[in-house]
Amino acid sequence: MATKSNLPENSRTGTAISPTPFNMMLRAMANDASADDGQFTGDDLNAILGAQTEEEMWEADERPPLNFQHLASCQIAVLDFDVKYSRGGKDGIITPFVTPEGKKMYILASCTRLGGGKTQIFKLPEVGEVFQANTSARYVVAKLWRAMTMGLINPSTGKALHCMVQETDLGDGQAVLKLRPITMQRTTPSSAE
Protein backbone atom coordinates (compact mmCIF):
# COMPACT_ATOMS: atom_id res chain seq x y z
CA MET A 1 0.00 0.00 0.00
CA ALA A 2 1.24 3.49 -0.88
CA THR A 3 2.34 5.78 1.91
CA LYS A 4 0.15 8.85 2.46
CA SER A 5 2.95 11.22 3.39
CA ASN A 6 3.26 14.49 1.50
CA LEU A 7 7.02 14.33 1.85
CA PRO A 8 9.06 13.37 -1.21
CA GLU A 9 10.48 9.86 -1.19
CA ASN A 10 14.01 11.24 -0.70
CA SER A 11 13.14 12.97 2.59
CA ARG A 12 11.54 9.82 4.02
CA THR A 13 14.67 7.82 3.31
CA GLY A 14 17.00 10.49 4.70
CA THR A 15 18.84 11.18 1.43
CA ALA A 16 19.62 14.74 0.38
CA ILE A 17 17.24 16.45 -2.04
CA SER A 18 18.82 18.36 -4.90
CA PRO A 19 17.73 21.99 -5.17
CA THR A 20 15.29 22.71 -7.98
CA PRO A 21 16.29 25.05 -10.82
CA PHE A 22 13.91 27.63 -9.31
CA ASN A 23 15.63 27.45 -5.90
CA MET A 24 19.05 27.73 -7.55
CA MET A 25 17.84 30.79 -9.49
CA LEU A 26 16.48 32.41 -6.31
CA ARG A 27 19.81 31.89 -4.56
CA ALA A 28 21.74 33.36 -7.50
CA MET A 29 19.32 36.30 -7.79
CA ALA A 30 19.73 37.06 -4.09
CA ASN A 31 23.52 36.99 -4.50
CA ASP A 32 23.30 39.41 -7.46
CA ALA A 33 20.61 41.71 -6.05
CA SER A 34 21.34 45.25 -5.00
CA ALA A 35 19.14 47.60 -3.03
CA ASP A 36 16.69 49.82 -4.84
CA ASP A 37 17.80 52.75 -2.76
CA GLY A 38 15.72 55.29 -4.63
CA GLN A 39 18.71 57.55 -5.17
CA PHE A 40 18.10 60.14 -7.84
CA THR A 41 20.32 59.52 -10.86
CA GLY A 42 18.72 61.87 -13.38
CA ASP A 43 17.66 59.11 -15.76
CA ASP A 44 14.10 60.40 -15.81
CA LEU A 45 15.33 63.83 -16.93
CA ASN A 46 17.44 62.64 -19.86
CA ALA A 47 14.51 62.75 -22.30
CA ILE A 48 13.82 66.38 -21.39
CA LEU A 49 17.47 67.42 -21.42
CA GLY A 50 18.13 65.52 -24.66
CA ALA A 51 15.13 66.95 -26.54
CA GLN A 52 16.02 68.26 -29.99
CA THR A 53 12.82 70.22 -30.57
CA GLU A 54 10.39 72.20 -28.47
CA GLU A 55 7.72 69.54 -29.09
CA GLU A 56 10.05 66.79 -27.83
CA MET A 57 10.83 68.85 -24.74
CA TRP A 58 7.11 69.24 -23.88
CA GLU A 59 6.35 65.54 -24.45
CA ALA A 60 9.46 64.18 -22.73
CA ASP A 61 7.90 63.84 -19.27
CA GLU A 62 4.77 62.02 -20.47
CA ARG A 63 6.23 58.62 -19.70
CA PRO A 64 6.24 57.26 -16.15
CA PRO A 65 8.74 54.61 -15.04
CA LEU A 66 8.01 51.62 -17.26
CA ASN A 67 7.22 48.09 -16.28
CA PHE A 68 6.76 45.17 -18.64
CA GLN A 69 2.95 45.50 -18.50
CA HIS A 70 3.33 48.85 -20.27
CA LEU A 71 5.28 47.02 -22.99
CA ALA A 72 2.50 44.54 -23.86
CA SER A 73 2.61 43.79 -27.61
CA CYS A 74 5.97 45.54 -27.97
CA GLN A 75 8.87 43.90 -29.72
CA ILE A 76 11.98 44.58 -27.67
CA ALA A 77 15.63 43.67 -27.43
CA VAL A 78 16.73 43.03 -23.85
CA LEU A 79 20.32 44.29 -23.63
CA ASP A 80 21.09 43.63 -19.97
CA PHE A 81 19.42 43.50 -16.56
CA ASP A 82 20.08 43.88 -12.86
CA VAL A 83 18.37 42.18 -9.95
CA LYS A 84 17.03 44.63 -7.40
CA TYR A 85 15.46 44.36 -3.98
CA SER A 86 12.11 46.12 -3.71
CA ARG A 87 11.89 49.07 -1.38
CA GLY A 88 9.81 48.61 1.75
CA GLY A 89 6.11 49.40 1.75
CA LYS A 90 5.27 47.58 -1.47
CA ASP A 91 3.17 44.87 0.14
CA GLY A 92 0.76 44.85 -2.82
CA ILE A 93 3.40 43.28 -5.04
CA ILE A 94 2.88 39.53 -5.25
CA THR A 95 5.99 37.75 -6.45
CA PRO A 96 7.57 34.34 -6.08
CA PHE A 97 11.00 35.98 -6.06
CA VAL A 98 11.49 36.34 -2.32
CA THR A 99 14.58 35.57 -0.25
CA PRO A 100 14.32 33.40 2.88
CA GLU A 101 14.54 36.69 4.83
CA GLY A 102 11.41 37.96 3.04
CA LYS A 103 13.07 40.47 0.70
CA LYS A 104 11.21 40.78 -2.61
CA MET A 105 13.25 40.92 -5.81
CA TYR A 106 12.59 42.17 -9.31
CA ILE A 107 14.44 42.66 -12.59
CA LEU A 108 15.41 46.09 -13.93
CA ALA A 109 16.07 45.51 -17.64
CA SER A 110 17.80 47.74 -20.18
CA CYS A 111 15.91 47.36 -23.45
CA THR A 112 15.47 48.79 -26.92
CA ARG A 113 12.04 48.99 -28.48
CA LEU A 114 12.01 47.31 -31.89
CA GLY A 115 8.36 47.97 -32.73
CA GLY A 116 4.75 47.18 -31.87
CA GLY A 117 2.91 48.16 -28.73
CA LYS A 118 -0.60 49.09 -27.69
CA THR A 119 -1.92 52.62 -27.67
CA GLN A 120 -1.15 53.88 -24.21
CA ILE A 121 -2.20 56.83 -22.10
CA PHE A 122 1.48 57.72 -22.03
CA LYS A 123 4.11 57.66 -24.71
CA LEU A 124 6.05 54.44 -25.34
CA PRO A 125 9.79 54.65 -26.02
CA GLU A 126 10.59 55.44 -29.62
CA VAL A 127 11.71 52.57 -31.84
CA GLY A 128 15.47 52.23 -31.29
CA GLU A 129 15.41 54.10 -27.98
CA VAL A 130 17.23 52.48 -25.05
CA PHE A 131 15.17 52.53 -21.85
CA GLN A 132 14.73 50.68 -18.58
CA ALA A 133 11.71 48.69 -17.47
CA ASN A 134 11.10 46.62 -14.36
CA THR A 135 9.28 43.35 -13.85
CA SER A 136 8.60 40.69 -11.28
CA ALA A 137 6.32 38.78 -13.66
CA ARG A 138 7.22 35.15 -13.02
CA TYR A 139 7.50 33.92 -16.62
CA VAL A 140 9.34 37.04 -17.77
CA VAL A 141 11.89 36.90 -14.93
CA ALA A 142 12.48 33.17 -15.44
CA LYS A 143 13.02 33.59 -19.20
CA LEU A 144 15.32 36.57 -18.78
CA TRP A 145 17.35 34.72 -16.16
CA ARG A 146 17.63 31.59 -18.29
CA ALA A 147 18.50 33.63 -21.39
CA MET A 148 21.32 35.27 -19.42
CA THR A 149 22.64 31.95 -18.12
CA MET A 150 22.53 30.55 -21.68
CA GLY A 151 24.52 33.53 -23.01
CA LEU A 152 21.58 34.90 -25.01
CA ILE A 153 21.89 38.19 -23.10
CA ASN A 154 25.49 39.27 -22.79
CA PRO A 155 26.41 42.96 -22.74
CA SER A 156 30.13 42.08 -23.07
CA THR A 157 29.54 40.53 -26.49
CA GLY A 158 26.57 42.70 -27.48
CA LYS A 159 24.13 39.76 -27.50
CA ALA A 160 20.55 40.81 -26.83
CA LEU A 161 17.37 38.79 -26.46
CA HIS A 162 14.86 39.74 -29.17
CA CYS A 163 11.31 39.04 -28.05
CA MET A 164 7.74 40.27 -27.88
CA VAL A 165 5.99 40.98 -24.60
CA GLN A 166 2.72 39.04 -24.70
CA GLU A 167 -0.10 39.80 -22.28
CA THR A 168 -2.96 37.37 -21.75
CA ASP A 169 -6.01 38.78 -20.00
CA LEU A 170 -7.23 36.46 -17.25
CA GLY A 171 -10.22 38.61 -16.31
CA ASP A 172 -10.88 40.47 -13.04
CA GLY A 173 -8.08 42.91 -13.85
CA GLN A 174 -5.52 40.10 -13.88
CA ALA A 175 -3.14 39.29 -16.74
CA VAL A 176 -0.15 37.07 -17.29
CA LEU A 177 2.93 38.34 -19.11
CA LYS A 178 5.19 36.13 -21.17
CA LEU A 179 8.04 36.69 -23.60
CA ARG A 180 7.73 35.22 -27.08
CA PRO A 181 10.46 34.91 -29.71
CA ILE A 182 10.50 37.13 -32.73
CA THR A 183 12.47 36.53 -35.86
CA MET A 184 14.70 39.35 -36.91
CA GLN A 185 14.12 40.35 -40.51
CA ARG A 186 17.28 40.76 -42.46
CA THR A 187 17.41 43.86 -44.56
CA THR A 188 19.37 43.80 -47.76
CA PRO A 189 20.24 46.88 -49.73
CA SER A 190 18.16 47.14 -52.88
CA SER A 191 20.15 47.29 -56.04
CA ALA A 192 19.97 50.56 -57.89
CA GLU A 193 18.79 50.24 -61.46
- Looking at the 3D structure of the chain, how many domains does it have? 1
Burial group, residue 137, by CB count within 10 angstroms (0-12, 13-18, 19+):
buried
Residue 49 within a domain: no
**This prediction's pTM:** 0.73
Residue 190 pLDDT exceeds 50: no
Give the strand pairing for 161-171 and 174-181: antiparallel
Which pLDDT band, with edges at 50, 70 and 90, does 193 fall under? very low
Residue 76 within a domain: yes
Residue 63 within a domain: no
Shortest CA distance to 139 belongs to which of 183, 176, 85, 106? 176
> Rg (Cα) of the chain, in Å, rounded?
21
Residue 145 pLDDT exceeds 80: yes
Which pLDDT band, with edges at 50, 70 and 90, does 158 fall under? very high
Residue 27 within a domain: no
> What average pLDDT does this structure show over 61-76?
86
Which pLDDT band, with edges at 50, 70 and 90, does 155 fall under? very high
Residue 157 within a domain: yes
| Rounded Cα–Cα distance for residues 169 and 152 (Å) | 28
Residue 52 within a domain: no
| Rounded Cα–Cα distance for residues 169 and 49 (Å) | 37
Residue 51 within a domain: no
| Rounded Cα–Cα distance for residues 158 and 80 (Å) | 9
pLDDT tens digits, 112-122? 999 998 766 67
Q: Which domain holds residue 91?
A: 68-183
